[in-house]
Structure 1
Amino acid sequence: MSAASTRVLDTARTGRGMVWVIAVMLFLTVLATASGIGTARATGAIGVRLGGRATVQIAAADPAQREQEAAAVAATLAGVAGIEQVRVVPRAEITQLLAPWLGGDAADVDLPIPAMVDLTLADTASAGRVRRVLATAAPGARLDLHSAALAPVRSFLAVLSALGLALVAMMLAATAFVVVLAARAGLEAHRGTIEVMHMLGATDVQVARLFQRRLSRDAALGAAVGGVAGLVTVALLGMQASALGSELLGSVTLGTLGWAVLMAMPFAFVALAATVARRAVVRSLGRML
């Protein structure tokens, strides 16, 4: 009776638009999840890479004095506890960084470019020791912490991660709602058949199982289409981001765990659809009959 009942229920295609709705929902959910995971990992990567980085700027008017002060500051800071690495940034390197904005003028020897000393700090407490040393050794020098400069970027990425998680939750809720509507539409389309099945001794649970099986097949088809499209899109976007050569965009990666989560999402959608369909049908049958 189960196979025959399934064929009878499948004769009406009411609600099969759910296949494409599920596909679109899963596609968008995969993109939102990838965005949330990627930005969360990028936020952590920025903190690890730049949390202990700092730069000392020396803006003396005389170029020779700038170079002498930079060398003296580097030698002094090299002996300070908590400073792991000290490096005087060559003028050629600074010129190369300024070239996109200044063009050929960046190489002008008369251009008053501050001398810079890059530092790698062991912890946040080291910044206070550096400031105290600079106040004595080079009163005109300025200490810039990279973490402070990029704090707004980290906050923005954190907001994007939270937004991605919120979108995933809304997509799951919308998917459950679509499944409920499809289940109710199927019940209305097959009301006469269900009544005959009840007269033949079928229970609400048996009828619900048939609808669950049919809706699960529809959800599986939609999940396959949307899942493949979403994973391919995420992979292509990742390749393009890596090809740009940007340090910030290059840190927006998913990692092994992130890809595992994305690949598990189609199965999660099918399980969600099957569970919601069964409960919706049982409740609706209780009201109908």
Structure 2
Amino acid sequence: MTPIPIVRAADRRLLREGRLSGPMPWVLAIMLFLTTLAAAGGVALSSAARTLGGGLANHATVQIVQADAERREAEASAVLAAIGADPAVRSFQRVGAAEMAALLEPWLGARGSGDLPLPVLIDLSVSGPEAMPRIAAALARVAPDARVDDHRAALAPVARLIGTLRWLALALVVLMTAATGCTVVLAAASALDTHRGTIDVMHLLGATDVQIARLFQRRIALDALFAGFIGLLAGVAVLVLIARRLAGLGSELVGTVALPGWGWGLLTALPVAMTLLAATTARWTVVRALRRLP
């Protein structure tokens, strides 16, 4: 990347500078705002994919649906013994009666589940999803009424959707970066046409194409830097609002879509990256255009 040049105060007066003046800085601010949202979405979805792959996908729920209480408890004891003896099982826990009543309360009321034959639920965590079929076969032998709900199978469509959205977010970031570069090219070309008379005088005074390019490079880079921070602040405000809305849902699956600490660091680096891109593109555009002048 071409560094942002340091220009003397006398040189700055050759080109009028105004912070966020004209349409170009605001277009760049909008570009970075959209880039911030797309990048945050991609990072959050990547974090969710890792959580689903390494956490929820290795969990399962064993249900024992049997109306006879004695037989249900006998099968529950056999299932707990079989699970405890399996080396692939990391942890397991039977859902208590109080917790079952709390889960059913929104549908049956506070006392609606008192006389119902509630099924036995056992949550278990395994070392890897490949152990699920073997565990299900072993439980079927000791408890015919036991059913194993593999979270991996239930979450497979969600994982595929997250993967698709993650690639879409990456594509949007690439497209926004390309659009930012094109915007800088158009802005640099427009500035050259506006200051054509000044450029001719500078050439007559012995200024080189690189020296002239530094002036345009500096002005565009500063506009991009200010615009970048405005776009970043707007994007962060929207992300904070979305995070609060997601937290209010209270869903464990939705809670996996979160932006990690390094993701926030990546977002704060976006204005600097856009400034470097704008400076490099402006320098290349101006030097290339000046070399074509007669």
Shift of 1:68: 2.6
Shift of 1:13: 10
Q: 2:200 aligns with which of 181, 187, 195?
A: 195
| Aligned residue in 2 for 1:59 | 65
Looking at structure 2, the residues matched to 153 and 211 of structure 1 have their Cα atoms a distance apart, in angstroms, of: 48
Does the 8 A contact of 1:53 with 1:119 survive in 2?
yes
Looking at structure 2, the residues matched to 14 and 52 of structure 1 have their Cα atoms a distance apart, in angstroms, of: 52
Looking at structure 1, the residues matched to 170 and 292 of structure 2 have their Cα atoms a distance apart, in angstroms, of: 36
CA, structure 1 residues 101+287, in 2 after alignment: closer, same or farther (shift >3 Å)?
farther
| Aligned residue in 2 for 1:121 | 126
Shift of 1:144: 1.3
Letter in 2 for 1:230: G
Shift of 1:137: 0.8
Give per-residue Cα distances to partners, 1:35-67, cap 9 Å, x unaligned: 111111112112222132111222223244223
| Aligned residue in 2 for 1:45 | 51
Give per-residue Cα distances to partners, 1:176-205, cap 9 Å, x unaligned: 110000000011111122112111111111
Does the 8 A contact of 2:247 with 2:255 survive in 1?
yes
Contiguous gaps of at least 5 residues in structure 1? none
CA, structure 1 residues 96+16, in 2 after alignment: closer, same or farther (shift >3 Å)?
same
Taking only aligned residues, the RMSD between alpha carbons, in angstroms, comes to 2.5
TM-score normalised according to structure 1 size: 0.89
TM-score normalised according to structure 2 size: 0.88
Question: 1:259-278 alignment to 2 at 5 Å?
Answer: 259-278=264-283
Q: 2:161 aligns with which of 156, 159, 162?
A: 156
Does the 8 A contact of 2:19 with 2:223 survive in 1?
no
- SS of corresponding position for 2:55: helix
Looking at structure 2, the residues matched to 271 and 131 of structure 1 have their Cα atoms a distance apart, in angstroms, of: 56
CA, structure 1 residues 220+255, in 2 after alignment: closer, same or farther (shift >3 Å)?
same
Q: Does 1:219 align with 2:224?
A: yes
Does the 8 A contact of 1:28 with 1:230 survive in 2?
yes
Looking at structure 2, the residues matched to 49 and 242 of structure 1 have their Cα atoms a distance apart, in angstroms, of: 19
Looking at structure 2, the residues matched to 253 and 218 of structure 1 have their Cα atoms a distance apart, in angstroms, of: 32
Letter in 1 for 2:208: T
Q: Which stretch of structure 1 is more off in the superposition, 61-70 or 253-262? A: 61-70
Q: 2:284 aligns with which of 270, 274, 279?
A: 279
Q: Which stretch of structure 1 is more off in the superposition, 248-257 or 148-157? A: 248-257
Looking at structure 1, the residues matched to 89 and 17 of structure 2 have their Cα atoms a distance apart, in angstroms, of: 75
Does the 8 A contact of 1:14 with 1:189 survive in 2?
no
Looking at structure 2, the residues matched to 34 and 150 of structure 1 have their Cα atoms a distance apart, in angstroms, of: 22
Shift of 1:279: 0.3
| Aligned residue in 1 for 2:113 | 107
| Aligned residue in 2 for 1:147 | 152
Q: 2:15 aligns with which of 2, 6, 9?
A: 9
| Aligned residue in 2 for 1:26 | 32
CA, structure 1 residues 84+106, in 2 after alignment: closer, same or farther (shift >3 Å)?
farther
Looking at structure 2, the residues matched to 280 and 170 of structure 1 have their Cα atoms a distance apart, in angstroms, of: 20
Looking at structure 1, the residues matched to 280 and 184 of structure 2 have their Cα atoms a distance apart, in angstroms, of: 10
Paired residues, what number?
288
Q: Which stretch of structure 1 is more off in the superposition, 249-258 or 267-276? A: 249-258
Shift of 1:233: 2.9
CA, structure 1 residues 32+219, in 2 after alignment: closer, same or farther (shift >3 Å)?
same
CA, structure 1 residues 61+17, in 2 after alignment: closer, same or farther (shift >3 Å)?
same
